[in-house]
Amino acid sequence: MYTLICAVQDLALLALFITGLVLLEWQIIVFPIVIYILVPFLNELIYNFFAKLLFTIEKEKKWMDNRYYQQEQQNKYTENLPIMYHYKYNITACGIEKLHPFDSVKYGRVFNILKEKGFMQEQNFYKPQGKVGRGLMLNLGMSQLYLLYLNYAAYISKCIEIPLFFLPASFLRWKVLDPMMFSTQGSIDAAVLSLKRGWSINLSGGYHHACRQSGGGFCIYPDICFAIEYLRKFVGIKKCMIVDLDAHQGNGHERDFINDKENTFILDFYNHSIYPADFQAAKGISLSKNVDCNTSDSEYISMLRMTLKKSLDEFKPEFLLYNAGTDCLDGDHLGQMNLSRNCIIERDQIVFEECLKRDIPLTMVLSGGYQQINAPVIADSILNLDEKLKIKNYSRKKVQNL
């Protein structure tokens, strides 16, 4: 609805601006420009007011209890795989999305491969019921000023690293922000599912450069932070661990949890010589390892196995969010690492194996990856998890009461 309102406003102002150009009336030309700059302030005040008014913690808890209880009664917890996917995850904008190297439709490609291989069917998975709500975002600490910035095409362009400042912000909201909001809700829902099933995968998400105050690196909404904060606020989970194995530093969630090392352990393997080189955010990391083009498969696997085991045994998290970026694959010009397909598959297996044998619920999100081979590798990795760890039949020992 908010996107539609913004679109109508943009079209009206554009029509007025064109009229001014045709009539050569500078007053008519300037007026819509001024209104275009000022109207988001009014929109945000009204939208935030009603979002706060209508949202309550009790209502959100009731919605969550009803939703998952009903699905449990219908045996969907045993019939459905704890995998979140929605076709609206995929970002398509008349080909404009191809200006960025990120494969913005890899989510659908992974889903289709898993379906073709017989791992998934058309209906045996979960879908987020909609976009993450404004009231929930505000309740989870999202900055109102940041939400205001997202009404301007110039700021959105900066975050997604594509020069689209000349397009109406409502178009970018419709084609870029809305899919990311679906994915963000998917990460939250997947985290809740993992508490019942022991594991879950959101076939999107992992916007680890976004925090509650700003975005960047093709990341707008801090789904990792939201998923963890949601479990804390609405389920009672306290100690959470983030394992970020994307090639880039996860500066978004590190900024969000920089002052909460007691309850949030961040293990980050990343190439220290590439974007974002956020030294302030790095203070939020509990344990980091530098990986680059000289790191071999065997070195990487050995380092991961040792540090993950030690971190899990010492910190003892109640929930783990796994940011499984695949931009560390050989040939990725942005990740600048040289890990093989088999290394990525073994990497994911190690994370799942170490969590499942300790009965630590985990949620995996896909994060970065800038080659066409990423989707097949992700799909093969999920298939391997079922082949080696039998995740389809996994039952959690300590089921969390929702």
CB under 8 Å to 126, separation ≥6 — which residues?
80, 81, 82, 83, 84, 85, 189, 190, 193
* Torsion 335-177-323-88 (CA) sign: negative
Residue 30, C-beta contacts closer than 8 angstroms, at least 6 positions apart: 20
**Residue type at 259?**
N
Q: Furthest-apart CA pair in the chain: how many Å?
A: 73
Which one of 86, 100, 208, 209 is the catalytic residue? 209
Residues sharing a CB contact under 8 Å with residue 368, sequence separation 6 or more, in sequence order: 102, 206, 246, 247, 248, 325, 326, 327, 334, 335
Q: What are phi and psi of 64, to 5 degrees?
A: -65, -45
Helix (H, G, I), strand (E, B) or coil at 336: coil
- Token digits for 91? 């970002």
CA pair distance 162, 156, nearest whole angstrom? 9
| Whole-number Å distance between alpha carbons of 220 and 103 | 16
- Per the annotation, the verdict on 248 as an active-site residue is no
Facing residues of 83 across strands?
Answer: 201
Core vs surface per residue 346-377: b (16+ CB within 10 A) or e: bbbbbbbbbbbeeebbbbbbbbbbbbeebbeb
Q: Which residues are catalytic?
A: 209
